[in-house]
Structure 1
Amino acid sequence: MNTVPKLGMGTFRLEGDVAFMAVKNALLAGYRHIDTAQIYGNEAEVGQAIAASTIARDELFITTKVWLENLSLERFLPSVHESLAKLQIESLDLLLIHWPDMSDDADMHQYLGELAKAKAQGLTRHIGVSNFTNAQLDEAISILGDGAIFTNQVEVHPYLQNRNVIAHCQSHGIQVTGYMPLAVGKVMSDTTLKTIANEHGVSVAEVVLAWQLQQGLVTIPSSTKPANLACNLRALDLLLSADNMAAIGQLDRGERIAAPDFSPLWDQ
C-alpha cells in the first residue's frame, strides 16, 4: 500500500489466539493497517491472520518495531528477517526503532544505519522511530537526512496530548502516529467526552479517535471485540466542531501511561 491508512489496528498486549482473532476480525471489518512489534510476542499470530485472509498484500500496511536487545550490529538485520518470517511477508511497509537506547549499549548512528540498510535491502518501504524526544528526533534527522523518517510513534490521548512533539514532527514533515489513543479505556468515563459523544450520537471512542485524526495524526487503537473494531472505524466519518476540539484540548494533564524505566527524558 502506497499510503498509510490513518486509522490502524494496534496489537499491544494481544497474545496467542486472542491476537490472531483480533487481527482476523479487524481485517474482516475493513482495517488495512496493522501495527505490531517484536516485543509484543505476537508477530506470528498477526502473520497467521494476514495469511488466512483473502486480502492482497499490496492492500495492507504492516508495521513492526525493532526491540532494544536487537539494536546491535550483530542482531539488527537478523531480527528483521525473523520478524518477516513470523509475519509471513517478504517486506514491511514500515519498520521502526521501538525505543531510543538510553543505556549506551547501542549507538544511535549504528542502529539507525542498520535501519537505513533494512530499507536499502528492500526489507521495508518506510523507516521511522518511536518514543523519540524532539532532541532525539533532531539527532536522527541529522544521521539519516531530511525526508528519511516516515513517522515518530508516540503516546497521544486526551490526557497526554504531546503538543510539542506533534508540532516538532509536523514542522519536519514527519507523520505522528499516536498510540494508546483511548488511554487504556480511561477516556470512556470522561464527562466532557461523553457530552461531545452524546451531541454527535456516537461513542466516546469515536470522538477521541476523530480528535486525533483531525490533528493529522495516524491512530492505532487496539480492540478484541468486533463491535468495538467496527465502532472505531466510524471515527473516520466523524467531524468534530472547533468547540469540541477546544474542549478536548482542555483535558490534557500530562498523564503518561507508557513510562518504563528505560524511557528518555520526555518533552513537556
Structure 2
Amino acid sequence: MITTSPEITLNNGIRMPALGLGVYRSSPEETRSAVLTALQRGYRLIDTAAAYGNEKEVGEALRRSGLRREEVFVTTKLWVDDYGYRNALRAFEQSRRRLGVDYVDLYLLHWPVHSDLASTVASYRAAETLLAEGRVRAIGVSNHAPEQLAHLLARSRVVPSVNQVELHPFFVQRDVRAFDARHGIVTQSWSPIGGVDRYAAEGPAVRDLLAHPVIRDLARRYAKTPAQVVLRWHLDHGLAVIPKSVRAARIAENFDVFDFALTPQEVAEVDALDTGVRGGPNPYWL
C-alpha cells in the first residue's frame, strides 16, 4: 500500500495532496478520532469548515498526531452568515483559533450567495487580504457554478486556486470542470463516492453509486472495492478528492487507491453513468 498521496500544484505554486479526508457530518468526537486515524494512515490533507462545528477537534487531532504543522494541509471555509469584508476577516480569525494553527493552507468561500453576489465578492476580497498577509497559503471557493465564478473573476485580483463542488460519477459536472481548467482552477470533489445521494435523498430518489453494475464489475476486475474504483476515477481525471469516513477501516480503504489506474475506456464507461442530477443543494438557491 502506498502511504503518500500524490500532489497537485495549485495556480500559485502551492502543492496540495490530491486525496484528503473530509469531515462534513462528522460529530466532534468522531472527527477527533477520524482525523487522527487518517493522519496515522498517511493522509496529509484535512478538509473542514466553520459550519461543520468540528474545527476545534481537527486542530486537536493535528496536535496529537505528532506531525509538524507544515506536514498537513488544512482547509476550512467561510460560512455565508459571516459574508462581507470585515465579517469575513473576523470569522477567519475565529476559525484559525478553533483550529489552533498560525495559518490555514486553503481558505474557501463555502457557497455563493446568488441573490447577493456583492457580499460574495466582498468576502473573497477579504480572503485576498488574508493571502497577501500570509495568514493563508491559498484561497478559493466552493459550490460555484461557472456563471458565479465568472462574476467573481471579473471583480477580484486573485484567481481562486480551488473550486470544491459536488462531483461523482452520477453528477460529473463537465461544465464546471471545463471552466475551472480554462482558468487554472483545481476542481475538488466533495461527496466523491455519491454519499449525498444516500443521506440527502429519500425513498425512490435514493441512488447507490457503489451498487452500480459498472462500478462493481471494475471492482472485481481490479480486486478493489467499489469505493476505491470511484476514487481512482476522480484521480484519473486529475481531480482532487476528499472522501469522508469516521470508520478506521474505511479511512484506510479510501487511501489505498494509488497502486492501480483505470484505462481511458474504463474512465469513459464510468463517465457514462452521469445523470446530470445533483444530490446536494443547488448553488443558485442561496
| Corresponding letter in the other structure for 1:243 | Q
Residues 29-73 of structure 1 deviation map (CA, whole Å, 9 limit, x = unaligned): 110000000100000111110011111111111000000001123
**Corresponding residue of 2:251:** 229
Deviation at 1:87, TM superposition (A): 0.6
Hey, what does 1:11 align to over in structure 2? 23
Runs of 4+ in 1 over 6 A off after TM superposition: none
Q: Does 1:160 align with 2:192?
A: no
- Where in structure 2 are the equivalents of 1:133-212 lying within 5 Å? 133-145=145-157, 148-184=159-195, 186-212=208-234
Whole-angstrom CA distance in 1 between matches of 2:56 and 2:24: 14
Structure 1 stretch displaced more, 246-255 or 182-191: 182-191
- Give me the whole-angstrom Cα distance separating, in 2, the residues matched to 1:182 and 1:68: 26
Q: TM-score, normalised by structure 2?
A: 0.88
Q: Is the 8 A contact 2:19 2:240 kept in 1?
A: yes
Structure 2 residue runs without a partner (length 5+): 1-6, 8-13, 199-207
Q: Is the 8 A contact 2:107 2:140 kept in 1?
A: yes
Deviation at 1:133, TM superposition (A): 0.8
User: What is the aligned partner in structure 2 of residue 248 from structure 1?
Assistant: 270
Q: Deviations over 1:226-247 (max 9, x none)?
A: 1111111111222101221111
Give the unaligned 5+ runs of structure 1.
none
CA distance in 2 between counterparts of 1:113 and 1:55 reads: 32
> SS of the residue aligned with 1:107?
helix
Counterpart amino acid of residue 238 in structure 1? F
In structure 1, the partner of 2:284 is: 264
SS of the residue 1:143 aligns to: coil
CA separation of 1:101 and 1:58: change in aligned 2, threshold 3 A: same
Q: Number of matched residues?
A: 263
Distance 2:28 2:40 in 1: 19
Deviation at 1:111, TM superposition (A): 1.6
Shift of 1:106: 5.1
- Residue identity (%): 34
SS in 2 for 1:153: strand
Note if contact 2:86-2:126 (Cα within 8 Å) is conserved in structure 1. Answer: no
Local SS of the residue matching 2:108: strand
Shift of 1:154: 0.6
Query: TM-score w.r.t. structure 1 length?
Result: 0.94
DSSP-derived class of the 1:149 partner: coil
> For 1:120-131, what aligned pairs fall within 5 Å after superposition?
120-131=132-143
Counting only pairs closer than 5 Å after superposition, residues 3-82 of structure 1 correspond to structure 2 as: 3-82=15-94
Output the CA distance in 1 between the equivalents of 2:120 and 2:192: 28
Provide the secondary structure at the position in 1 that maps to 2:257.
helix
Q: Choose 237-246 or 83-92, whichever is displaced more.
A: 237-246
Is 2:242 the counterpart of 1:220?
yes
What residue identity is the alignment partner of 1:78?
A: R
Contact 1:22–1:223, Cα closer than 8 Å, also in 2: yes
d(CA) in 2 for partners of 1:255 and 1:234?
A: 29
For the residue of structure 2 that corresponds to 1:127, the secondary structure is strand
Equivalent position SS for 2:224: coil
Q: Distance in 2 between matches of 1:59 and 1:79?
A: 25
- Between 197-206 and 136-145, report the one with greater CA deviation: 136-145
* Paired amino acid for 1:222: K
Contact 2:84 2:120 in 1 (8 A): no
User: SS state of the match for residue 161, structure 2?
Assistant: strand
